[in-house]
């Protein structure tokens, strides 16, 4: 059976969504996923992808400027 990283993620969400994010639990989950038949490489890719979601440096939110201008559409202007 050809497993993908997405299959690993779905399996994790269906079966292990209540685990916390400690290194020990990651090792336990990794072993359980291997026992379930997932290849180690795909498991590692899934864990790496999940970790990348919490990388705050990737997502920089620029706050609005003090002098920002809101331009209303024609429909919005009608209601104002």
The stretch 47-59 carries a mean pLDDT of: 77
The stretch 60-66 carries a mean pLDDT of: 76
3-state SS track over 1-56: CCCCHHHHHHHHHHHCCCCCCCHHHHHHHHHHHHHCCCCHHHHHHHHHHHHHCCCH
The stretch 70-80 carries a mean pLDDT of: 89
DSSP single-letter state for residue 58: G
Q: Are 8 and 42 in contact (CB under 8 A)?
A: yes
pLDDT of residue 27: 86
Domain ranges of the chain: 1-15+31-40
34 confidence band (pLDDT: 50, 70, 90): very high
The count of C-alpha atoms lying within 13 angstroms of the C-alpha of 23, restricted to the half-sphere facing its C-beta, is: 0
């Amino acid at each position: 059976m050809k497993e993908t990283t997405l299959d690993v993620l779905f399996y994790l969400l269906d079966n292990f969504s209540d685990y916390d994010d400690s290194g020990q639990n990651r090792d336990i989950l990794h072993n359980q996923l291997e026992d379930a038949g997932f290849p180690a490489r795909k498991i590692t890719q899934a864990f790496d992808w999940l970790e990348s979601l919490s990388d705050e440096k990737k997502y920089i939110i620029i706050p609005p400027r003090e002098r920002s201008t809101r331009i209303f559409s024609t429909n919005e202007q009608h209601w104002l």
